[in-house]
């Protein structure tokens, strides 16, 4: 008895601890979601609508704009915009000033329909420049309150709606859950501190609560509310936005249709709950136990009786296993017992539905954990044979008593999914017969074809039976990984005129790249073949990367087994794949096949292999006594090729070493170090002295740039002259590292805006047709520096002023100038007839580039040109 009391007190302490944890979580959700939804959604939504209603009675007054600007706020969520304005107006002979533009208070910025802020900033700036007065609305009861635009920004309100509804709703539900738990914690203990009597379902003893679909009404409504509260406002924002692309509107429409479906499902479940409200289930005995009979009687109200009239009702007792750690298909029905119900009319026009069941002797208790899953026993009402579940109840099934002294002992679990991974199922012969008819049918059954799965191809030759297994999954995996490598190469500029640029670092990125390349080579060429020959069974799994062969005596085919190899999905959508195994003389299992879908398919393959060996045994073949093929596992020729490519990438010559037929030095001797120090310090005499002492004029700095590139970028003419005189190559490219753009000294000179340096480099032989890896040429570089003299010089020499860069995003020099905020360069391009509204292949204009790079001055200038 003391042991039982200790167990009870331990369970009570555990239950109390769980409730306290639930109290804490519900309190956190109530505060976080409730306050967040109120502050970010409900409060501004109500305030805006209330102010819009009040402003309808405000009086129009003329006002003077004192200041107007567009302010950009940058955060991790991207830029947001705020139109700042200050204006003065007079009411009753008294002057007032205000800063409120719309219904939202001053100081509020957003990026929802940002054109509203930009348009108002532009209009107010134009009014200020022209000295034009504007019309504002003033509160007649409080003249200090005024605003300019009384219209409701519906897109902004739709953005706030999910916060107002969903977040606040979650907070209210969490608060209600907190109150229920708190009240239950106070009532759930007796005066002596012990828990009050409760049934296993949390209700009073003898009471049965609805479960399964009946309890899901609230959850479905909550999920539908959550889904629609987010999807519908987002759809409204996109549908009302003229700039949103059509595919975005079509994509959000899918979420809207799902929301409509959820609402329909919630209405259907609500109607079902209303129909069966008042139903009562009684059990005999009230506490069902495994191995005993159970009489279930269900009393249905008049509404349900009218619906079930003339239907062949059935009751089903089902055991479900619920994987509480899974989010996919966590529930599966492992066994069920269906009985035709006995139906009787009641005095109140209802129905009495009853049936008798026999619980299995190894029935686990309801709510227990078995094999990592929760056990649910349910009684279900079926509308008709094979029909859907109309009503379901959780049943407090208890385990049977086994052993002496009435001690409960847990029996082995018949539905343990983990046991299937260890189970070895023998494969029976294809022509298993018995009785007097067996001899007569044996010849016929022996030659009956075995139906192989579609993934297995059988071909018979004079040498034996050959099986080939499809490797579709491996091919898909190879394609996906190869696509990822192609995308990574495009992002990091690995594809170009110079060929494939491989990672130079062996660790991390380099090692992962080579490992993925090896996987693609293996998965794309992998083949699994099995041959049944006179000398035995030969299994080959080979690819261009690796080759493995196993050889077994043919007699092992007569005792094959299959085992679960892997599975996909979970719960009701789980698909299991089995492999066929043979047993060696020492008892070890050798896998003969890859995974095939279903145990029936694995059985068919095993029976076919056994029949193939019987077929070869019955044939006379000269020289049948042959040596068994030796097994091996070794690299294939593709592995050697991959190893050679890896060695070349690590120790072979670099692409930058082949430029102009000479190899720039990458090691720093004493004199080379002096050259770098002189360049960094801007000391021309020291630089000339280092060159005279034998320093390499084509020396590359740690960042991959040559000393001439560094001097050209800074416009250091003395350095440039000294380096060119010492033999520096003007067209040397920056290609030592994967992250470098591949600039030349001339491109660096224009990027720095130094025309004199660029002219000197051209005199020394630098090519004006040079382009870096992004296809940026001299005009692109000069546009980013804003050097007008450089632009004039290049235009005079026939350089294209509106050339796109296809290796990057297709941007033009005008777009790059906008992204760097070079307004004078934009004016230069406009004066030469360049279309400022031209779009790149991604639909972005120079204005979009200015906005993306947060260049407010260039954005304002482009907006003014667009508004004309």
**776-868 fold:** 1.25.40
Residues in a beta bridge with 281: 298
* Maximum average pLDDT range among 548-557, 567-576, 661-670, 727-736: 548-557
Tokens representing 66 are: 């004192």
Q: Which residues of 845-860 are buried (b: 16+ CB within 10 A; e: fewer)?
A: bbbbbbbebebbebbb
* Maximum average pLDDT range among 186-200, 488-502, 598-612: 598-612
Beta strand ranges found along 268-348 (DSSP E): 280-284, 293-300, 314-322, 331-340, 342-345
What span, in angstroms and rounded, lies between the C-alpha atoms of 747 and 146?
55
Instruction: Report the pLDDT value the prediction gives residue 487, as an integer from 0 to 100.
Output: 80
Beta strand ranges found along 398-460 (DSSP E): 425-426, 456-460
pLDDT tens digits along 816-825: 999 999 999 9
Beta strand ranges found along 383-452 (DSSP E): 389-394, 425-426
Tokens representing 750 are: 């224009």
What span, in angstroms and rounded, lies between the C-alpha atoms of 448 and 152?
79
Instruction: Report the pLDDT value the prediction gives residue 74, as an integer from 0 to 100.
Output: 67
Instruction: Report the pLDDT value the prediction gives residue 779, as an integer from 0 to 100.
Output: 94
Tokens representing 85 are: 């304005």
The pLDDT-based confidence of 208 (bands split at 50, 70, 90) is: low
Q: Report which of residues 202 and 397 the model is more confident about.
A: 397
Averaged pLDDT for residues 783-807 = 91
Q: Which residues of 216-243 are buried (b: 16+ CB within 10 A; e: fewer)?
A: bbeebbeebbbbbbbbbbbbbbbeeeee
Task: Name residues whose C-beta falls within 8 Å of residue 855's C-beta, 6 or more positions apart in sequence.
Answer: 818, 819, 820, 821
pLDDT tens digits along 6-48: 444 444 555 566 667 777 877 887 787 788 778 878 888 888 8
Token pair 């700039």 is at which residue?
A: 243
Highest CATH level, class, for 653-773: mainly alpha
Asked if 553 and 533 count as a contact pair (C-beta separation under 8 A), the reply is no
pLDDT tens digits along 367-426: 898 888 889 999 999 877 777 888 899 999 998 876 555 445 567 888 887 777 788 889
The pLDDT-based confidence of 76 (bands split at 50, 70, 90) is: low
Asked if 772 and 792 count as a contact pair (C-beta separation under 8 A), the reply is no
Asked if 110 and 39 count as a contact pair (C-beta separation under 8 A), the reply is no
What span, in angstroms and rounded, lies between the C-alpha atoms of 571 and 329?
5
Distance of alpha carbon 354 from its chain centroid, rounded?
Answer: 49
What's the pTM value of the predicted model, to 2 decimals?
0.45
Q: Report which of residues 388 and 347 the model is more confident about.
A: 347
What span, in angstroms and rounded, lies between the C-alpha atoms of 115 and 93?
36
The pLDDT-based confidence of 198 (bands split at 50, 70, 90) is: very low
Asked if 814 and 780 count as a contact pair (C-beta separation under 8 A), the reply is no
pLDDT surpassing 50 at residue 5:
no
Tokens representing 353 are: 């539905």
The pLDDT-based confidence of 352 (bands split at 50, 70, 90) is: very high
Q: Where are the domains of the chain?
A: 276-400, 446-471+526-632, 653-773, 776-868
pLDDT surpassing 80 at residue 192:
no
What is the share, in percent, of the chain residues with pLDDT greater than 90? 33
Q: What is the DSSP letter of 797?
A: T
The pLDDT-based confidence of 504 (bands split at 50, 70, 90) is: low
Note whether 653-773 and 776-868 share their fold. yes
What span, in angstroms and rounded, lies between the C-alpha atoms of 396 and 202?
11
Whole-number Cα distances in Å, 291 to 212, 284, 319, 360, 400:
24, 14, 14, 5, 6
Cis peptide bond upstream of 285, omega within 30: yes
Token pair 């170009």 is at which residue?
A: 496
Instruction: Report the pLDDT value the prediction gives residue 785, as an integer from 0 to 100.
Output: 92
What is the share, in percent, of the chain residues with pLDDT greater than 70? 80
pLDDT tens digits along 554-594: 888 888 999 998 888 765 667 889 999 998 888 889 999 99
Token pair 């094979």 is at which residue?
A: 386
CATH of region 276-400, choose from 3.40.50.150, 1.20.120.1810, 2.60.40.640, 3.30.70.2860: 2.60.40.640
Alpha helices in 381-462 (DSSP H): 437-446
What span, in angstroms and rounded, lies between the C-alpha atoms of 398 and 289?
5
What span, in angstroms and rounded, lies between the C-alpha atoms of 705 and 842?
31
Q: Report which of residues 868 and 464 the model is more confident about.
A: 464
Instruction: Report the pLDDT value the prediction gives residue 175, as an integer from 0 to 100.
Output: 83
pLDDT surpassing 70 at residue 303:
yes
Tell me what the pLDDT averaged over the chain comes to.
81
pLDDT surpassing 80 at residue 726:
yes
Tokens representing 138 are: 């003033």
Instruction: Report the pLDDT value the prediction gives residue 652, as an integer from 0 to 100.
Output: 62
CB atoms within 10 A of CB 658: 12
Q: Report which of residues 73 and 12 the model is more confident about.
A: 73
pLDDT surpassing 90 at residue 353:
yes
């Amino acid at each position: 008895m003391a042991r039982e009391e200790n167990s009870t007190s331990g369970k009570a302490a555990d239950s109390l601890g769980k409730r306290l944890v639930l109290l804490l979580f519900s309190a956190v959700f109530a505060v976080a979601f409730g306050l967040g939804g109120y502050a970010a959604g409900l409060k501004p939504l109500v305030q805006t609508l209330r102010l819009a209603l009040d402003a309808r009675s405000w009086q129009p007054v003329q006002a003077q704009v004192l200041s107007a600007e567009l302010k950009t706020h940058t955060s991790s969520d991207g830029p947001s915009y705020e139109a700042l304005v200050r204006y003065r107006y007079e009411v009753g002979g008294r002057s007032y000033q205000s800063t409120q533009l719309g219904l939202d208070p001053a100081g509020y910025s957003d990026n929802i329909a940002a054109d509203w802020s930009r348009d108002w900033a532009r209009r107010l700036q134009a009014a200020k420049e022209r000295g034009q007065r504007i019309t504002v609305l003033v509160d007649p009861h409080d003249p200090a309150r005024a605003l300019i635009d009384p219209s409701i920004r519906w897109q902004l309100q739709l953005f706030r709606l999910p916060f107002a509804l969903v977040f606040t709703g979650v907070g209210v539900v969490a608060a209600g859950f907190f109150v229920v738990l708190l009240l239950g914690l106070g009532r759930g203990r007796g005066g002596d501190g012990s828990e009050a009597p409760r049934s296993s379902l949390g209700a009073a003893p003898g009471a049965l609560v609805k479960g399964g679909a009946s309890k899901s009404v609230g959850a479905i409504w909550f999920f539908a509310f959550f889904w629609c509260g987010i999807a519908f406002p987002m759809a409204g924002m996109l549908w009302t936005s003229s700039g949103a692309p059509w595919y975005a509107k079509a994509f959000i429409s899918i979420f809207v249709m799902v929301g409509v479906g959820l609402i329909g499902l919630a209405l259907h479940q609500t109607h079902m709950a209303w129909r069966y409200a008042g139903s009562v289930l009684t059990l005999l005995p009230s506490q069902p136990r495994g191995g005993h009979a159970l009489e279930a009687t269900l009393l249905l109200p008049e509404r349900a009786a009218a619906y079930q009239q003339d239907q062949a009702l059935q009751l089903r007792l089902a055991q479900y296993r619920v994987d509480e750690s899974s989010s996919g298909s966590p529930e599966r029905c492992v066994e069920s017992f269906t009985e035709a119900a006995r139906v009787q009319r009641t005095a109140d026009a209802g129905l009495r539905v009853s049936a008798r069941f026999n619980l299995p002797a190894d029935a686990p208790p309801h709510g227990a954990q078995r094999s990592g899953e929760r056990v649910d026993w349910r009684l279900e009402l079926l509308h008709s044979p094979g029909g859907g579940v109309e009503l379901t109840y959780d049943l407090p099934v208890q385990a049977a008593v086994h052993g002496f002294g009435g001690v409960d002992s847990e029996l082995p679990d018949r539905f343990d999914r983990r046991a299937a991974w260890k189970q070895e199922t023998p494969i029976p012969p294809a022509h298993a017969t018995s009785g007097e008819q067996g001899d007569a049918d044996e010849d016929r059954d022996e030659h009956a074809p075995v139906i192989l799965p579609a993934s297995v191809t059988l071909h018979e030759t004079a040498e034996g039976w050959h099986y080939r297994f499809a490797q579709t999954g491996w091919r898909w995996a190879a394609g996906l990984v190869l696509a990822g490598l192609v995308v990574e190469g495009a992002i990091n500029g690995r594809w170009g005129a110079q060929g494939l640029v491989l990672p130079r670092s062996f660790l991390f990125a380099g090692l992962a790249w080579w490992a993925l390349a090896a996987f693609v080579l293996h998965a794309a060429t992998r083949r699994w073949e099995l041959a049944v020959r006179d000398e035995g069974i030969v299994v080959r799994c080979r690819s261009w990367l690796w080759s493995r062969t196993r050889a077994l005596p043919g007699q092992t085919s007569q005792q094959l087994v299959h085992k679960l190899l892997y599975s996909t999905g979970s719960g009701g959508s789980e698909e299991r794949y089995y492999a066929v195994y043979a047993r060696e003389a020492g008892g070890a299992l050798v896998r003969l096949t890859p995974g095939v879908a279903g145990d029936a398919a694995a059985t068919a393959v095993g029976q076919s292999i056994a029949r193939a060996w019987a077929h070869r045994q019955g044939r006379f073949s000269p020289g049948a006594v042959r040596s068994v093929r030796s097994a091996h596992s070794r690299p294939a020729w593709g592995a050697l090729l991959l190893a050679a490519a890896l060695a070349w990438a690590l120790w072979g010559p670099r692409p930058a070493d082949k430029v102009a037929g000479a190899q720039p030095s990458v090691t720093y001797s004493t004199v080379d170090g002096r050259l770098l120090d002189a360049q960094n310090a801007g000391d021309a005499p020291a630089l000339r002295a280092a060159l005279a002492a034998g320093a390499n004029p084509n020396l590359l700095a740690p960042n991959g740039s040559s000393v001439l590139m560094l001097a050209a970028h800074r416009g250091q003419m003395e350095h440039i002259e000294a380096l060119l005189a010492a033999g520096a190559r003007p067209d040397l490219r920056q290609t030592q590292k994967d992250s470098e753009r591949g600039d030349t000294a001339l491109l660096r000179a224009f990027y720095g805006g130094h025309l004199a340096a660029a002219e000197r480099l051209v005199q020394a032989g630098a090519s004006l047709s040079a382009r870096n890896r992004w296809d940026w040429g001299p005009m692109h570089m000069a546009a980013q520096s804003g050097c007008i003299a450089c632009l004039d010089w290049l235009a005079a020499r026939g350089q294209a002023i509106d050339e796109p860069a296809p290796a990057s995003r297709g941007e033009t020099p005008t777009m790059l100038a906008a992204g760097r905020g070079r307004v004078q360069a934009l004016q230069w391009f406009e004066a030469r007839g360049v279309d400022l509204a031209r779009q790149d292949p991604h639909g972005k204009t120079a204005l979009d580039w200015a906005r993306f790079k947060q260049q407010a001055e260039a954005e304002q200038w482009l907006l003014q040109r667009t508004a004309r």
